[in-house]
């Protein structure tokens, strides 16, 4: 991941304006009218709805604004975005704050508007705090795609959903059942913060799943919160095991939580008795999968999220899609995607990682 990371809005502004001087407005480039079906060179184009004949424009300025820079997970996502922008022959830019606080992204959005980007791909730190700025961007004819964490529906054009809430919740329940074995038993959830939107909605779905007859043998005894902090997650995992001596499985739908729980279990007397599963990063979990603490966990491929977001943004900036439900577009190696209700584009089911396949992944 060798792309330049611009940190302060000031350097960003100066670099951005320099780029503007050199390149000028590129939004008007690429007007070839090839029909959708035989133009495959660029790797993606429209296929239906809005203006299927519009080709992907070259030289689109696509800016990524993750929740924060220097976050390993965000870096993989935006890394996938860079690959896609290169395939699209666009201009890739990455900016972002160093902290994931609610308001820290606003100044970056304002700068991107001034730089007249074509597409802003943003992972909203707060669904509402970024809204006024994003709407300002859309008024300036910039397409706004959210990924990772959505902004309010009325201030973005489309949302790349890593997987449906339903899909993840189901997958968590399914893995818990597999790990608990035929006899079932007590399970507990080790989540991120108590008010983390993603985790809470997954846990809700998981609870609904557990209420079904198939899961009758599983009993969810507690949802603990490790605040996505190593030490705190450690302590919560310890608390769970002390409070519930018969615990069979810890399900951690957060990368920090699952790693902390796995590390704790692997070094304690509970190893082999309590299983850990959930959502984790293969690199972080490799050690514990290989030593047998963790048999299986899942995650979508974060690089694919950035990749898909870039293609969706390019398709929209080129006029192929508008964000209306039912419109279709092609996203390079990922194939064709259809826009769902509320402008949501779902990446697909999460990938499951086990001892057998974990070495094929590097993120």
Contact residues for other proteins (CB under 8 A)? 1, 5, 69-72, 74-75, 98, 193-194, 222, 224-225, 227, 230-232, 234-236, 238-243, 245, 259-260, 263, 267-270, 283-284, 286-288, 290
How many CB atoms lie under 10 A from the CB of residue 221? 16
Question: For other proteins, which is the closer residue by CB, 186 or 236?
Answer: 236
Structure tokens at 235: 């302590």
Measured from the CB of residue 352, what is the shortest distance to other proteins in angstroms? 19
Question: For other proteins, which is the closer residue by CB, 243 or 354?
Answer: 243
Measured from the CB of residue 242, what is the shortest distance to other proteins in angstroms? 4
Measured from the CB of residue 290, what is the shortest distance to other proteins in angstroms? 7
Helix axes 165-180, 197-210, angle to 10 degrees: 60
The answer to whether residues 253 and 202 touch, using CB atoms and an 8 Å cutoff, is yes
Structure tokens at 16: 């951005």
Question: For other proteins, which is the closer residue by CB, 224 or 305?
Answer: 224
Question: For other proteins, which is the closer residue by CB, 166 or 268?
Answer: 268
Question: For other proteins, which is the closer residue by CB, 269 or 360?
Answer: 269
- Cα–Cα distances in angstroms (integers) from residue 180 to residues 215, 217, 239, 243, 288, in the given order: 11, 9, 20, 18, 18
Question: For other proteins, which is the closer residue by CB, 71 or 107?
Answer: 71
Q: How far apart are the first and last CA of the chain?
A: 11
Structure tokens at 155: 């201030």
Measured from the CB of residue 256, what is the shortest distance to other proteins in angstroms? 8
Q: Is 306 helix (H, G, I), strand (E, B) or coil?
A: helix
Structure tokens at 15: 């670099």
Measured from the CB of residue 154, what is the shortest distance to other proteins in angstroms? 30
Question: For other proteins, which is the closer residue by CB, 37 or 269?
Answer: 269
Q: Across the chain, which distance is largest between two alpha carbons, in Å?
A: 68
Measured from the CB of residue 239, what is the shortest distance to other proteins in angstroms? 3
Structure tokens at 292: 């047998």
Measured from the CB of residue 106, what is the shortest distance to other proteins in angstroms? 21
Report d(CA 240, CA 105) in Å as an integer.
36
Helices (H), 244-334: 255-266, 282-290, 302-317
Residue 279 DSSP code: B
């Amino acid at each position: 991941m060798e792309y330049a990371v611009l940190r302060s809005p000031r350097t960003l502004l100066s670099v951005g304006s320099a780029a503007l001087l050199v390149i000028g407005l590129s939004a008007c480039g690429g007007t070839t009218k090839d029909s959708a079906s035989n133009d495959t060179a660029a790797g993606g184009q429209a296929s239906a709805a809005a203006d299927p004949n519009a080709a992907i424009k070259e030289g689109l300025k696509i800016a990524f604004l993750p929740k924060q820079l220097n976050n390993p997970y965000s870096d993989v996502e935006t890394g996938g975005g860079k690959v896609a922008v290169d395939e699209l022959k666009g201009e890739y830019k990455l900016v972002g704050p160093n902290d994931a606080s609610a308001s820290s992204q606003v100044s970056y959005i304002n700068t991107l508007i001034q730089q007249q980007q074509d597409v802003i791909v943003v992972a909203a730190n707060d669904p509402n705090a970024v809204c006024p700025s994003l709407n300002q961007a859309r008024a300036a004819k910039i397409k706004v795609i959210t990924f990772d964490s959505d902004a309010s529906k009325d201030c973005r054009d489309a949302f790349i959903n890593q997987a449906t809430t339903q899909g993840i919740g189901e997958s968590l329940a399914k893995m818990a059942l597999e790990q608990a074995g035929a006899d079932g038993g007590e399970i507990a959830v080790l989540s991120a913060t108590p008010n983390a939107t993603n985790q809470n909605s997954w846990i809700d779905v998981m609870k609904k799943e557990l209420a079904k007859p198939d899961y009758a043998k599983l009993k969810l005894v507690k949802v603990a919160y490790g605040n996505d902090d190593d030490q705190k997650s450690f302590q919560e995992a310890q608390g769970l095991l002390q409070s519930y001596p018969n615990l069979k499985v810890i399900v951690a739908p957060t990368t920090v939580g699952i790693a902390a729980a796995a590390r704790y279990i692997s070094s304690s007397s509970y190893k082999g008795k309590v299983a850990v599963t959930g959502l984790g990063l293969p690199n972080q979990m490799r050690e514990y999968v290989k030593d047998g603490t963790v048999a299986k966990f899942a995650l979508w491929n974060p690089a694919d999220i950035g990749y898909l977001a870039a293609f969706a943004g390019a398709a929209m900036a080129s006029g192929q899609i508008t964000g209306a439900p039912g419109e279709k577009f092609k996203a390079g190696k990922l194939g064709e995607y259809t826009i769902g209700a509320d402008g949501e584009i779902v990446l697909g089911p999460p990938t499951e990682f086990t001892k057998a396949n974990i070495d094929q992944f590097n993120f």
